[in-house]
Amino acid sequence: MKEEMTLNLLLLCPLISASFIFLLNIVFKNIRQSIYSFLALAGSGTSAILALYVSYESYFNHKIFNSLLFTWLDIGDFNINIALKADALGAFMVLFVAPVSFLIHVYAVAYMDGDKSYGRFFAYFNLFIFFMFMLVLGSNPIIMFLGWEGVGLTSYALISFYFHDIQNTYAGNKAFILNRIGDFGFLSALMILFVEVGSYGFSFTDIFLHINNINPSTLDLIAILLFVGAMGKSAQIPLYVWLPDAMAGPTPVSALIHAATMVTAGVYMVARFAPIYNMSLDVSLFISYIGAISALFAAVIASRQYDIKKILAYSTMSQLGFMFMALGIHAYTSALFHMFTHAFFKALLFMSAGAIIVAFSHKQDIRELRGLRYSAPVIFIMMLTATITISAIPPFSAFISKDSIMSFLFASGHYDIFILAFIASLFTAYYMFRMIFVMFFSNYFLEAKKSSWFMLYPMIILSLFSIFAGLLNLPELFTGNLNISTWLNLEDKPLEISHTVEIILMLINTIAILAVIFYTYKKYAYTDKILDESEVNIIANKFYIDEIYDYVFVKSLKHFAVYIDTKISYKLIDRSINILALSYAKAGRLFSYIENGNIRFYALYMLVGLMFGFVYLYVLLRLSL
C-alpha cells in the first residue's frame, strides 16, 4: 500500500501543482509570483524527494515498486491497465529526472522573474514533469506512449512560449510536426507489436516473455519503427532539425526539456525495448551508424555556430548520437550512464548560458559576449567545469561515461563507428572550448548585471554532480565495481577487451583532446579571429539541411496542394458537385408541378402505382404458375 502511494504521489504531485497553477492563472488576474513559485517548487520538490527514496530502495533493497491506478480498457480477455512500475531502469530514470527538474525549477524561479506569463510557464513546466514521469514509469507501452505524447505537447507549448513573436510559434510547430513523424513510427510499432503478441497481455514483461513468437523480419520492422520514434524525440538524423529551433523557448526550458530529460526519452525507449534490439542485430547496427553520423554531423555544425544556445543544442544532439552508438552495440548501461551524466553537465551548461543571457541584457551571440571572465566569475567557473566535463577530460564524470562508450565501440570491432565517434569527441572539445575562449579569454570587459543566487545555487549543486557523478559507475580499472551496471542488470554485451588496451585508448583519447584544446586556445584566446569567419560557408549554414527539407518536403507538397486546389478541387470536384446540385434543383422544380395540392391527383398517382404493382405481381404469378 505504501509503495503504491509513493509511486502515485511521485507521479501526481506535479500534475496537482500544475492544475492549481492553471486554475489560479485563469481565475485571478494579479497574483503574487511567490505563490506560483511556492506551488511549482512544492510539486517538483516532493516528487524529487520521493524519486530519491524510490531509487534508494531500488538500489539497495532491489525493491520493485508497483501501482495499479485503474483499468483503462477492459474488452474480453484484453485489458489495458493504467499501472505504474518502477523497476531498476525506471528508478534510475527518475533518479536524475526528478532532482534535475527540481533544480531547474529553482533556477527558473529566478530566470522567469517578472515575466508576465509567470504562472503559465510553471503550469506547463510541472505538467511536463508529470508526463515525463508517466513516460519512464509506465508499466506498459500504452502509458509510455501517453507520456511520450504528453512531453511532446508540453514541449510544443514551451517552445512557442513567447508566442507574440511568430518565429517562436513556427519553431514550436516545427518541433511538433517532426515529432509527429517519429510518433507515427512509434505508434505503428506498437500496433504491430500488439497484433503479434497483444493476446498475451501488453505490459513490458508480457511482451518480452513472448517475443520469441514473433518472426525475425517482423521484429526487425518493429525495431526500426520504434527507432523512428526515438529519432524524432532524440533529434537524430534525419529528424533532428527541430532541436536547434527549439531554443526559441526560455532557457530553463532548453535546459530541462531539450537537454536533460525529454530528448533522452528516445534513448530510454531503446533501452526499455532492449530485448527486441538484442534479437535484431542489423537494426541495432543501423542505430549505431545513425548515432555516429549524427554525433559527427552535429559536432561539425556546432563548430561554426555563434548563438550560444544553438551551439549547446547541436552539442546535445551530438551527445545523444554517442548514446545511440552505445545502444546500437548493446552497451545499454554505458548509454544510460552517459545520459545520466549528460543530464547534469548539459543542464549546467544551459543554466550558465541562461545566466549569461540574463546578466548581459539578452545577448546570445558569442561575438558580442566577450570578456566576461572578470564580470561574471561564478558563471565562468561553472561553465568551465561543464565544458571540461563534456570534453571528457579525466577525472570528470563524462570522462568515465564516454570512455566506457568508446571502449565498447572499440571492442565491438566496428572500427568505422569508433573512428567517427573519436573525431566527434575531438570536435566536441573544439567547439566547446572555442565558445569558452571566445567568451571568457579576451582583452575586453563587459559590464554585467548581478546574477540572483537562486540561479547560482542550483548551478553549483549541478556542477558538483557533473564532477562526481562518474564515481557511481567506476569501472574495474579504477578499482570501481560498476555499481550502476549491477543495479540496472540490463542485457548488456560484456566488455571483451583487456585492461591494457583500455588504458591505451584512454590515453589516446585524452591526449588527442588536450591537443585539440591547446590548438583551440592558440586559435581563439585573446584574438579576434572569430570575427573573420565567413558566414556563407557550408558548415555555417548547417549544410543547408533546413533549406533542402524546405525545398523537398514543404515546397513540393505546397505546390502539389496548390495544383490540387486549383485544378482538381475547383475545376473537377466543385463543378461536378455544382452540376449535380443544380440538376437536383431543376428536377425538384419539375416534380413540384406534380405536387399541386389536389387530393384527386394524389389518388391518381396512387392508382398508377397500384396498377404497376398489380401488373408486376400478375406477371410474377403467371411466370411461377
Partner 1 sequence: MQNEIIFILLAIITIVSSSVMIYAHRPIDSALSFMVSLVSIAALFALLNASFLFIVQIIIYAGAILSLIIFIIMFLNIKDENLPDETHKNKWLMFTSIIILPFTYILIDLILRSDIQTNSKLPENFGSIKDVGLTLFSKWVLPFELVSILLLVALIGSVSLAKREEK
Partner 2 sequence: MIKSYMILSIILFSIGTVGLISRRNIIVIYMSIELLLNAVNLSLIAISSDLGDSSAQVMSLIIIAIAASEAALFMSLFVVLFRNRASLDANLFDILGSSK
| Interface with partner 1 (CB under 8 A) | 604, 607-608, 610-611, 614-615, 617-618, 621
CB of 605 to partner 2, least distance (A): 10
Binds partner 2 (CB under 8 A): choice among 68, 507, 585, 607: 607
Q: Check binding of 450 to partner 2 (CB under 8 A).
A: no
Q: Check binding of 597 to partner 2 (CB under 8 A).
A: yes
Q: Which is nearer to partner 2, 34 or 598 (CB)?
A: 598
Which DSSP string do the residues of 430-474 spell out, in sequence order? Answer: HHHHHHHHHHHSSS-----PPPPHHHHHHHHHHHHHHHHGGGGG-
| C-alpha–C-alpha distance, residues 89 and 427, integer Å | 31
Q: Which amino acid is at 208?
A: F
CB of 599 to partner 2, least distance (A): 7
Beta bridge partners of 65: 86
Q: Check binding of 621 to partner 2 (CB under 8 A).
A: no
Instruction: Report the partner that residue 618 touches, choosing among partner 2, partner 1, none (CB closer than 5 to 8 A by kind).
Output: partner 1
Instruction: Reply yes or no: is the peptide bond before residue 238 cis, omega within 30 of 0.
Output: yes
Helix (H), strand (E), coil (C) string for 286-344: HHHHHHHHHHHHHHHHHCCCCEHHHHHHHHHHHHHHHHHHHHHCCCHHHHHHHHHHHHH
Q: Check binding of 615 to partner 2 (CB under 8 A).
A: no
Q: Check binding of 494 to partner 2 (CB under 8 A).
A: no
Give the dihedral sign, CA 306/312/313/319: positive
Q: Which is nearer to partner 1, 560 or 612 (CB)?
A: 612
CB of 592 to partner 1, least distance (A): 22
Q: Check binding of 599 to partner 2 (CB under 8 A).
A: yes
What are the backbone dihedrals phi and psi of residue 117, each rounded to the nearest 5 degrees, phi first? -105, 40
Q: Which is nearer to partner 2, 216 or 613 (CB)?
A: 613
Q: Which is nearer to partner 1, 536 or 625 (CB)?
A: 625
Q: Check binding of 588 to partner 2 (CB under 8 A).
A: no
Binds partner 2 (CB under 8 A): choice among 603, 617, 619, 620: 603
Q: Check binding of 600 to partner 2 (CB under 8 A).
A: yes
> What is the rounded (10 degree) CA torsion for 525, 531, 532, 538?
110
Q: How many angstroms from the chain centroid is the CA of residue 35?
A: 30
Q: Which is nearer to partner 1, 503 or 610 (CB)?
A: 610
CB of 623 to partner 1, least distance (A): 14
| C-alpha–C-alpha distance, residues 454 and 152, integer Å | 28
**Which candidate, 14, 6, 5, 8, places its Cα nearest to that of 98?**
14
Q: Which is nearer to partner 1, 464 or 617 (CB)?
A: 617
Instruction: Report the partner that residue 599 touches, choosing among partner 2, partner 1, none (CB closer than 5 to 8 A by kind).
Output: partner 2
Instruction: Report the partner that residue 537 touches, choosing among partner 1, partner 2, none (CB closer than 5 to 8 A by kind).
Output: none
Q: Which is nearer to partner 1, 5 or 603 (CB)?
A: 603
| C-alpha–C-alpha distance, residues 431 and 516, integer Å | 10
CB of 74 to partner 2, least distance (A): 56
Q: Check binding of 604 to partner 2 (CB under 8 A).
A: yes
Are 41 and 109 in contact by the 8 Å Cβ rule? The answer is yes
Find the part of the chain contacting partner 2 (CB under 8 A) among 371-379, 445-453, 482-490, 599-607: 599-607
Q: Check binding of 557 to partner 2 (CB under 8 A).
A: no
| C-alpha–C-alpha distance, residues 606 and 608, integer Å | 5
Q: Check binding of 27 to partner 2 (CB under 8 A).
A: no
Q: Check binding of 595 to partner 2 (CB under 8 A).
A: yes
Are 332 and 271 in contact by the 8 Å Cβ rule? The answer is yes
* Footprint of partner 2 (CB under 8 A): 595-600, 603-604, 607
